[in-house]
């Protein structure tokens, strides 16, 4: 089999280094084919399990594979230009017309660095350009392309430009124009805005610095590791809420925090995938993350986790500060330099989110996290400087005391990181404290189990050290996996691919099916769904809520309804209503209100003759969050009813939409009593989603919280008509300013009672005005009603005398991704609304024939 | 002792002794060669590198720039000696 040698003609006047690269860049064709098969399988697994597909990784994966097939056959001088072209093609495919802006502005920014002026002026020009882009990123000016273009430009330039300019000042490392451009336009960057900070000199130095086969095989192996990290992340992500609900006391708290820390697997998975794919093009970049969960000191952790960031901070912050404080003592220099690194890391973290999301988050949890980690690292640095750290050129000999020490320190560092990481991931310090304080609920048995697990972990760690010493432990296994990665990667990838097929996993039992479907799911877990729902009222930036777990974030336009000019605040329990006759863009769609302040078509207040009028009450889905007015399911249902009215007792149907983002049962009761009767509907429908009771209580918390801010007394907000709710509040004394979970815990004993009373109120209010009360159960795009909740709701509605329409199967057979507004928003999109509208109109048609008499099949009491 | 008086071999020896005493006290002296990777192998982490630089500056009366600290110029005793020699020239 021939070797892919580099054609002589391509060499030109190659330098000695070029000659070394030329020798390294050839590869045996069989090896090349084997690696190509591995890459193909790994990428197929990524697509089958829908890993990171939200931003177009499927297209980039195709380009990576096709590019790899072509790249290795090209003459060496053509390879970097080819890689650059491939990166620009990726931008063109994913961004279409906007891609032109990215490339042009990108080239211009690089050009500014090379203007023949003093370096300080280059810096000034780049800063001026960045300032203009930052202003555009804020959205103060109406530039249609900026929202799509600047985040990608930010992802490309926000850190690498710093390193590039630093090199131009200090080293001026020789590089061709192609290499300079390729350093910025790195193929996967367009779909992965969160990107490892690749050092410029390392990027140049490591280009084919080892045989091509070695680099390519490393790339395939790292991509495979990246995929496994991302799959593990998915499982952790979906198991996380169960740790909170299923495990008691201290154990539950610990497991929850440990799994939250485990969510970092997403970052390490992405970085492995990114760097692995760059290896396929000859860039032999160093390892990005290295067994960070096994760090045995804070400095060790800093050396293992996000190594590229550590190197970036060392070169741009730590050493510059250290070298300018020569007159101070070693300990003080280390402390000052470390403190500066963490201050800068915190700032750059927010700076990064500004470019990617358009917001500059300043969160107490961020400050606390980086502050605590900085102090721990500074203390560790001083300790190591004074006491030293054990280093060895050879394998150290087995020692029980050493094994105990390392294992105990590893458990300690992991636990410490899990605690502060869970804080970083919390919406607030209060939420985190509430979770932490749940450890108080531990009984003696729970504590014994926890202590047993700690001892078990210690013994397991010692055993692993012992095995490793005998070259029979996990370290040996990893060595074998690396050495035989040409076999391990395709075999495991093939296995994952096969198990990922529905024809296979559906036959492997419920457990396997559950694991595989979770591993393939791109939905939010229940914790993030609750946070998302809370966000509508609290108007928090989603970027600050999801930063550690999700990088597919909404833009800053994704604000709560109360933050829009269409909203009008009220002092009653609703808190907010819509102004009449306004038109805004809300969550990517036009939101128009009619003269009555309803997001709906225009209707007369007086019901026309021979018309069946229905009033719709409910939360964001019923209001049509994220879709156009005409696409909302109530309009779809209304049109469906009017098309099918032949033979009906009515000439026309009207559905009036009183729903609003954040409205729940308590708000619906207010509307049913005070607003709806003026419009004289014959049917009052209230829409219910999974999680109804929790949502009702959480809305109550927010109403009271906003009431406190607006200096409205709860009694005024709720009024005497909500006396049972006021009584429950007086009895349980929940603090609206506390963590949501704490507020919920206090009111939980009263929730069933409040729900039953509220539904009864809706039914009674409807009946008093001569309307038929109907409760419509609609699942979320990614979440069905659980049986217990469905049974409870049925029971409560039946007792209240209301009619139920259950649309449980409305999304059955559809991929949740195809139904939602955006990857970060599980509200139904136009298709989802169409499906709901069609089902609802059919059910209502049956119901309309029995208005005033007993219900029929489509609906039941 | 003034830095100018050291030959490159003496520089290497001084650096080797310092690294061995400060960072590898229990190691076999022969295991540390002039070409042994120091930073890329993890023997010298950022703190150790900072301490080494501080020592080199005071011992050889040279000044390092922050950008000179790293694998490119300090990964082996050979490289360190060459860097110091270049600075003294």
A213: left (phi over 0), alpha (psi -120 to 50) or beta: alpha
Inform me whether the C-beta atom of residue A385 falls under 8 Å from chain B C-beta atoms. Answer: yes
How far is the alpha carbon of A331 from chain B, nearest alpha carbon, in Å?
10
Looking at residue A544, its pLDDT comes to: 33
Phi, psi of B22 (to 5 degrees): -85, -40
Q: How many residues does chain A have?
A: 861
DSSP per-residue codes, A21-79: HHHHT--BHHHHHHHHHHHHHHHHHHHHTTTTTTTTHHHHHHHHHHHHHHHTTS-HHHH
Looking at residue A16, its pLDDT comes to: 62
Q: Which of A331, A289, A339, A377 is nearest to B50 (CA)?
A: A331
Binned at pLDDT 50, 70 and 90, residue A559 comes out as low
Residues of B in contact with A310 (CB under 8 A): 46
Least confident range of A27-36, A147-156, A703-712, A744-753:
A703-712
Binned at pLDDT 50, 70 and 90, residue A17 comes out as low
Q: Which of A171, A310, A391 sits opposite B67 (nearest CB)?
A: A171
Chain B's closest residue to A382, CA to CA, is: B47
Average pLDDT of the residues in A824-840: 92
- Mean of pLDDT over chain A: 87
Least confident range of A105-119, A242-256, A824-838:
A242-256
Q: Which of B77, B49, B24, B69 is nearest to A388 (CA)?
A: B24
Rounded Cα distance, A287 and A280, in Å: 14
**Reported ipTM:** 0.93
Which spans in A329-399 are helix H? 330-357, 364-387
Looking at residue A532, its pLDDT comes to: 62
Q: Which of A193, A191, A226 is nearest to A60 (CA)?
A: A191
Contact in structure between A694 and A531 (CB atoms under 8 Å)? no
Under an 8 A CB cutoff, do B64 and A323 touch? Answer: yes
DSSP state of A317: I
> In this predicted model, what pLDDT tens digit does every residue of A454-496 receive, in sequence order?
999 999 999 999 998 888 888 889 899 989 999 999 999 999 9
Would the pLDDT of A765 be above 60?
Answer: yes
Contact in structure between A376 and A301 (CB atoms under 8 Å)? no
Q: For chain B, how big is the Rg over CA atoms in Å?
A: 12
Rounded Cα distance, A494 and A224, in Å: 11
Residues of B in contact with A388 (CB under 8 A): 22-23, 25
Q: For chain A, how big is the Rg over CA atoms in Å?
A: 30
Binned at pLDDT 50, 70 and 90, residue A666 comes out as very high
Rounded Cα distance, A783 and A709, in Å: 34
Instruction: Tell me the C-alpha to C-alpha distance, in Å, between residue A108 and each of A103, A104, A129, A447.
Output: 8, 6, 9, 62
Inform me whether the C-beta atom of residue B36 falls under 8 Å from chain A C-beta atoms. Answer: yes
Would the pLDDT of A132 be above 70?
Answer: yes
Burial class of A719 by CB neighbour count within 10 A (0 to 12, 13 to 18, 19+): middle
SS (H, E, C) A242-268: HHHHHCCHHHHHHHHHHHHHHCCHHHH
Rounded Cα distance, A417 and A380, in Å: 14
Q: Please write down the long-range contacts of A754-757, taking CB distance under 8 Å and 24 or more positions apart.
A: A754/A696, A754/A697, A754/A724, A754/A725, A754/A728, A755/A665, A755/A692, A755/A693, A755/A696, A755/A796, A756/A796, A756/A799, A756/A800, A757/A724, A757/A725
Give the dihedral of Cα atoms A320, A322, A326, A331; nearest 10 deg: 170
Q: Which of A319, A384, A393 sits opposite B69 (nearest CB)?
A: A319
Inform me whether the C-beta atom of residue B38 falls under 8 Å from chain A C-beta atoms. Answer: no
A561-848 placed in CATH 3.90.550.10: no
Q: Which of A278, A224, A247, A331 is nearest to A80 (CA)?
A: A278
Q: Which of A303, A315, A389 sits opposite B70 (nearest CB)?
A: A315
Binned at pLDDT 50, 70 and 90, residue A393 comes out as low
Least confident range of A141-145, A473-477, A833-837, B17-21:
A141-145
Under an 8 A CB cutoff, do A322 and B57 touch? Answer: no
The domain segmentation of chain A, as residue ranges, is 1-240+262-289+485-493, 561-848
Task: For residue A465, give every residue at least 6 positions away whose Cβ sits within 8 Å of its Cβ, in sequence order, or none.
Answer: A398, A402, A403, A406, A407, A473
Q: Collapsing DSSP states into helix, strand and coil, what is residue B61?
A: coil
Inform me whether the C-beta atom of residue A171 falls under 8 Å from chain B C-beta atoms. Answer: yes
Pairing of strands A576-578, A772-777: unpaired
Rounded Cα distance, B81 and B16, in Å: 10
Would the pLDDT of A793 be above 50?
Answer: yes
Under an 8 A CB cutoff, do A385 and B47 touch? Answer: yes
Measured CA angle at A20 (ends A16, A24), to 5 deg: 165
Rounded Cα distance, A307 and B46, in Å: 12
Least confident range of A354-368, A459-473, A770-784:
A354-368
Average pLDDT of the residues in A144-161: 91
Residues 53-82 of B with CB under 8 A from A: 53-54, 57, 64-67, 69-70, 72
Pairing of strands A583-586, A576-578: unpaired
Would the pLDDT of A147 be above 90?
Answer: no
Under an 8 A CB cutoff, do B23 and A201 touch? Answer: no
Rounded Cα distance, B87 and A564, in Å: 63
CATH number, domain containing residue B59: 1.10.1200.10
The distance from CA A98 to its chain's CA centroid, rounded to whole angstroms, is: 24
Instruction: Tell me the C-alpha to C-alpha distance, in Å, between residue A753 and each of A693, A727, A757.
Output: 10, 11, 6
Phi, psi of A154 (to 5 degrees): -60, -45
Average pLDDT of the residues in A303-307: 91
The distance from CA A492 to its chain's CA centroid, rounded to whole angstroms, is: 27
Looking at residue A332, its pLDDT comes to: 92
Helix (H) or strand (E) holding A806: strand A803-806
Residue in this structure with the two tokens 């022969």, named with its chain if needed: B30
Chain A's closest residue to B55, CA to CA, is: A330
Would the pLDDT of A708 be above 70?
Answer: no
Average pLDDT of the residues in A19-41: 85
Instruction: Tell me the C-alpha to C-alpha distance, in Å, between residue A174 and each of A17, A171, A179.
Output: 12, 9, 10
pLDDT over 70, % of chain A: 91
Binned at pLDDT 50, 70 and 90, residue A557 comes out as low
Q: Which of A575, A569, A539, A579 is nearest to A557 (CA)?
A: A539
Inform me whether the C-beta atom of residue A304 falls under 8 Å from chain B C-beta atoms. Answer: no
Chain A's closest residue to B48, CA to CA, is: A385
Pairing of strands A567-569, A772-777: unpaired
Rounded Cα distance, A94 and A56, in Å: 7
The distance from CA A403 to its chain's CA centroid, rounded to whole angstroms, is: 38
Q: Tell me which residue range forms the domain holding B55.
A: 3-88
Under an 8 A CB cutoff, do A392 and B54 touch? Answer: no
Contact in structure between A557 and A585 (CB atoms under 8 Å)? yes
Q: Collapsing DSSP states into helix, strand and coil, what is residue A780?
A: strand
> In this predicted model, what pLDDT tens digit does every residue of B6-48 receive, in sequence order?
788 899 999 999 999 988 887 787 888 999 999 988 889 888 9
pTM: 0.77
Average pLDDT of the residues in A612-630: 94
Which spans in A500-538 are helix H? 502-505, 509-520, 526-538
Under an 8 A CB cutoff, do B57 and A326 touch? Answer: yes
Would the pLDDT of B1 be above 50?
Answer: no
Binned at pLDDT 50, 70 and 90, residue A860 comes out as very low
Looking at residue B5, its pLDDT comes to: 56
Residues of B in contact with A201 (CB under 8 A): 70, 72
Contact in structure between A341 and A374 (CB atoms under 8 Å)? yes
Under an 8 A CB cutoff, do B46 and A392 touch? Answer: no
What residues pair up with A803 in beta bridges, in sequence order? A774
How far is the alpha carbon of A170 from chain B, nearest alpha carbon, in Å?
7
The distance from CA A552 to its chain's CA centroid, rounded to whole angstroms, is: 5
Residues of B in contact with A314 (CB under 8 A): 46
Looking at residue A709, its pLDDT comes to: 58
Inform me whether the C-beta atom of residue B86 falls under 8 Å from chain A C-beta atoms. Answer: no
Would the pLDDT of A603 be above 90?
Answer: yes
b/e burial code for range A553-578 (CB count within 10 A of at least 16 → b): bbbbebbbbbebebbeeeebbbbbbb
Inform me whether the C-beta atom of residue A245 falls under 8 Å from chain B C-beta atoms. Answer: no
Rounded Cα distance, A555 and A250, in Å: 37
Q: Provide the CB-side half-sphere exposure for A64 (13 A, CA).
A: 36
Under an 8 A CB cutoff, do B65 and A323 touch? Answer: yes
Inform me whether the C-beta atom of residue A333 falls under 8 Å from chain B C-beta atoms. Answer: yes
| More confident position, B40 or A133 | A133
pLDDT over 90, % of chain A: 58
> In this predicted model, what pLDDT tens digit does every residue of A574-599 receive, in sequence order?
888 999 999 988 888 899 999 999 99
Least confident range of A22-26, A244-248, B56-60:
A22-26
Q: Which of A315, A323, A334 sits opposite B47 (nearest CB)?
A: A334
Task: For residue A790, give every residue at least 6 positions away whose Cβ sits within 8 Å of its Cβ, in sequence order, or none.
Answer: A777, A806, A808
Rounded Cα distance, A281 and A198, in Å: 15
Would the pLDDT of A821 be above 70?
Answer: yes
Q: Identify the residue among A318, A377, A393, A399 best suited for mutation to test binding to B, counting B beta carbons within 10 A and taking the highest.
A: A393
Q: Which of A191, A166, A184, A197 is nearest to A109 (CA)?
A: A184
Phi, psi of A3 (to 5 degrees): -100, 145
Contact in structure between A755 and A799 (CB atoms under 8 Å)? no
Residue B39, number of CB atoms within 10 A of its CB:
21
Measured CA angle at A499 (ends A496, A505), to 5 deg: 155
For chain B, how many structural domains are there in total?
Answer: 1
């Amino acid at each position: 089999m021939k070797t892919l040698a580099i054609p002589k003609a391509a060499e030109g006047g190659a330098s000695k280094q070029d000659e070394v690269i030329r020798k390294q860049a050839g590869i045996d064709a069989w090896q090349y084919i084997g690696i190509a098969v591995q890459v193909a399988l790994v990428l197929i697994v990524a697509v089958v399990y829908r890993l990171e597909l939200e931003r177009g990784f499927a297209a980039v994966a195709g380009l990576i594979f096709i590019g790899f097939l072509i790249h290795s056959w090209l003459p060496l001088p053509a390879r970097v230009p080819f890689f650059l072209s491939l990166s620009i093609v990726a931008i063109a495919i994913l961004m279409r017309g906007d891609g032109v802006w990215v490339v042009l502005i990108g080239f211009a920014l690089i050009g500014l660095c090379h203007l023949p002026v003093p370096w300080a002026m280059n810096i000034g020009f780049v800063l001026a350009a960045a300032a203009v882009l930052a202003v555009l990123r804020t959205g103060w000016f109406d530039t249609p392309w900026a929202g799509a273009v600047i985040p990608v430009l930010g992802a490309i330039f926000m850190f690498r430009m710093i390193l590039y300019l630093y090199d131009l000042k200090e080293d001026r490392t020789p590089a061709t124009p192609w290499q300079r451009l390729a350093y910025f336009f790195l193929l996967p960057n367009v779909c992965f805005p969160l990107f490892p900070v690749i050092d410029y000199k390392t990027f140049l130095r490591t280009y084919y610095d080892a045989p091509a086969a070695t680099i390519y095989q490393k790339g395939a192996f790292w991509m495979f590791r990246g995929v496994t990290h991302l799959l593990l992340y998915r499982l952790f992500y979906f198991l996380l809420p169960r740790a909170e609900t299923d495990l008691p006391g201290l154990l539950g708290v610990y497991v929850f925090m440990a799994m939250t820390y485990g969510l970092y697997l997403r970052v390490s998975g992405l970085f492995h995938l990114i760097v692995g794919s760059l290896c396929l093009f000859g860039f032999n970049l160093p390892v990005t993350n290295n067994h960070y969960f096994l760090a045995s000191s804070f400095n060790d952790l800093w050396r293992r986790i996000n190594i590229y960031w550590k190197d970036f901070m060392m070169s741009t912050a730590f050493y510059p500060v250290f070298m300018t404080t020569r007159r101070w003592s070693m300990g003080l220099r280390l402390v000052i330099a470390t403190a500066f690194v963490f201050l800068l890391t915190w700032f750059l973290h927010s700076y990064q989110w500004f470019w990617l999301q358009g917001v500059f988050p300043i969160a107490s949890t961020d400050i606390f996290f980086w502050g605590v980690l900085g102090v721990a690292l500074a203390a560790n640095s001083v300790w190591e400087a004074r006491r030293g750290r054990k280093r060895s050129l050879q394998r150290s000999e087995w020692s029980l005391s050493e094994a105990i020490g390392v294992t105990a320190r590893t458990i300690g560092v992991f636990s410490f990181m899990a605690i502060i990481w869970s804080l970083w991931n919390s919406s607030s310090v209060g939420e985190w404290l509430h979770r932490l304080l749940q450890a108080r609920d531990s009984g003696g048995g729970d504590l014994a189990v926890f202590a047993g697990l700690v001892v078990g972990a210690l013994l397991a760690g010692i055993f692993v050290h012992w095995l490793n010493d005998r070259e029979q432990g996990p370290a040996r296994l990893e060595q074998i996996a690396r050495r035989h990665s040409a076999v391990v990667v395709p075999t495991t990838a093939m296995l994952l691919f096969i198990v990922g097929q529905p024809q296979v996993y559906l036959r492997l039992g419920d457990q396997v099916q559950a694991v595989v479907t979770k591993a393939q799911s791109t939905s939010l877990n229940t914790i993030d769904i609750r946070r998302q729902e809370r966000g509508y009222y609290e108007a928090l930036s989603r970027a600050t809520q999801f930063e550690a777990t999700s990088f597919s974030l909404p833009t800053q336009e994704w604000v709560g309804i109360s933050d829009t000019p269409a909203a009008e605040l009220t002092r009653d329990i609703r808190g907010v209503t819509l102004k009449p006759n306004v038109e805004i863009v809300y969550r990517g769609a036009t939101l128009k209100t009619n003269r009555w302040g309803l997001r709906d078509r225009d209707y007369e207040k007086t019901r026309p003759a021979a018309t069946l009028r229905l009033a719709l009450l409910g939360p964001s889905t019923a209001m049509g969050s994220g879709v156009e007015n005409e696409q909302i399911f109530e309009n779809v249902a209304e049109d469906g009813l009017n098309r099918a009215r032949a033979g009906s007792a009515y000439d026309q149907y009207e559905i009036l939409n009183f729903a609003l983002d954040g409205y729940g049962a308590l708000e619906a009761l207010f509307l049913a009593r005070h607003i709806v009767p003026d419009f004289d509907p014959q049917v009052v429908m209230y829409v219910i989603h999974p999680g109804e009771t929790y949502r009702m209580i959480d809305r109550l918390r927010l109403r009271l919280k906003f009431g406190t801010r607006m200096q409205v007394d709860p009694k005024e907000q709720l009024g005497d008509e909500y006396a049972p709710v006021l009584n429950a509040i007086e009895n349980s004394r929940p603090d609206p300013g506390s963590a949501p979970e704490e507020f919920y815990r206090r009111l939980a004993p009263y929730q069933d009672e409040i729900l039953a009373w509220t539904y009864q109120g809706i039914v009674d209010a409807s009946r008093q005005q001569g309307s038929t009360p109907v409760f419509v159960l609609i699942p979320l795009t990614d979440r069905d009603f659980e049986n217990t909740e469905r049974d409870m709701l049925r029971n409560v509605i039946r007792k209240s005398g209301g009619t139920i329409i259950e649309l449980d199967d409305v999304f059955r057979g559809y991929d949740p991704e195809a139904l939602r507004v955006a990857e970060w928003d599980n509200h139904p999109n136009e298709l989802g609304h169409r499906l709901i509208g069609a089902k609802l109109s059919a059910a209502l048609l049956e119901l309309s024939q029995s208005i005033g008499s007993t219900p029929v099949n489509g609906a039941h009491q | 002792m003034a830095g100018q008086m050291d030959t490159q071999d003496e520089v290497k020896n001084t650096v080797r002794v310092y690294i061995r005493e400060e960072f590898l006290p229990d190691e076999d002296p022969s295991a540390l060669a002039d070409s042994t990777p120091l930073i890329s192998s993890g023997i010298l982490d950022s703190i150790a590198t900072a301490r080494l630089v501080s020592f080199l500056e005071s011992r050889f009366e040279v000044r390092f720039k922050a950008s000179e600290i790293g694998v490119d110029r300090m990964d082996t005793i050979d490289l360190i000696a060459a860097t110091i020699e270049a600075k003294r020239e």
